[in-house]
Chain A
Amino acid sequence: MKLEDLNKLLDKLEQMNFSEVELEIDQTKIHVKKGFDATTKQMVSVKPEQSQRDVTSDEFVIKSPMVGIVHFETPLKNGQKVSAGDVVAQIESMKLFNDVTSPRGGLIDDVRVQDGDSVEFDQPLLSIKKDK
Chain B
Amino acid sequence: MFKKVLIANRGEIAVRIIKACHQLNIVAVAVYSTADRQAQFVRLADESVCIGPASAKNSYLNREAILMAGINTNADAVHPGYGFLSEDELFAQMCEECGMTWIGPQASLIHDFSDKTNSRRIAKQRGLPIIPGSGMITSETQLYDQANKLGYPILLKASHGGGGKGIRMANSAKELFAKYQIVKEEADSSFLDGSIYLERDFEDARHIEVQVLGLPDKLLILGDRDCSLQRHRQKIIEESNASVLTKPERQELYKLVHQLLDDANYQSLGTVEFLLVQHQFYFLEMNTRLQVEHSITEETSGVDIVQAQIKAAAHNSLGFSYVTFDGHAIECRLNAENDLTNFVFETGKLQTFLMPTGVRVDTGLQSGDKVTPFYDRLLAKIIVYAPDRDQAIRQMQKALSQVEVCGIGTNLTELKRVVASQKFVTDQYDIHSVGKLMEESNHESYA
In which size bucket is the chain B interface? 20 to 34
By a CB distance below 8 angstroms, the chain A residues around B347 are 17-19
By a CB distance below 8 angstroms, the chain A residues around B50 are 67, 120-123
Q: Is the CB of A94 within 8 A of B68?
A: yes
Q: At the interface, is chain B mostly helix, strand, loop or mixed?
A: mixed
By a CB distance below 8 angstroms, the chain B residues around A94 are 64, 67-68
The residue that A120 contacts in the complex, of B49, B67, B348, B349, with Cβ under 8 A, is: B49
Q: At the interface, is chain A mostly helix, strand, loop or mixed?
A: loop
A93 with B64: in contact, given A67-B51, A67-B69, A120-B49 (CB under 8 Å)?
yes
Q: Is the CB of B349 within 8 A of A19?
A: yes
Report if B142 contacts A (CB, 8 A).
no
Q: Is the CB of B69 within 8 A of A120?
A: yes
Report if A83 contacts B (CB, 8 A).
no
By a CB distance below 8 angstroms, the chain A residues around B370 are 19-20
Total A-B contacts with CB atoms under 8 angstroms apart = 54
Q: Is the CB of A68 within 8 A of B373?
A: no
The residue that A66 contacts in the complex, of B65, B348, B373, with Cβ under 8 A, is: B65
The residue that A68 contacts in the complex, of B68, B73, B348, with Cβ under 8 A, is: B68
Report if B80 contacts A (CB, 8 A).
no
Report if A57 contacts B (CB, 8 A).
no
Q: Is the CB of B64 within 8 A of A121?
A: no
> Which B residues contact A (CB, under 8 angstroms)?
34, 49-53, 59, 64-69, 72-73, 347-349, 370, 373, 407
> Which A residues contact B (CB, under 8 angstroms)?
17-20, 36, 66-69, 93-94, 118, 120-123
With A17-B373, A36-B407, A68-B68 known, 13 other A-B pairs at CB within 8 A are A17-B347, A19-B347, A36-B348, A66-B64, A67-B52, A67-B64, A67-B65, A69-B68, A93-B68, A94-B67, A94-B68, A120-B51, A121-B50
Question: What 3 A-B pairs come out closest when comparing CB atoms?
Answer: A118-B72, A67-B68, A120-B50
Q: 30 pairs across A/B with beta carbons < 8 Å?
A: A18-B347, A18-B348, A19-B348, A19-B349, A20-B349, A20-B370, A66-B52, A66-B64, A66-B65, A66-B68, A67-B50, A67-B51, A67-B52, A67-B66, A67-B69, A69-B72, A93-B64, A93-B65, A94-B64, A94-B68, A118-B72, A118-B73, A120-B51, A120-B69, A121-B34, A121-B50, A121-B51, A121-B59, A121-B65, A123-B50
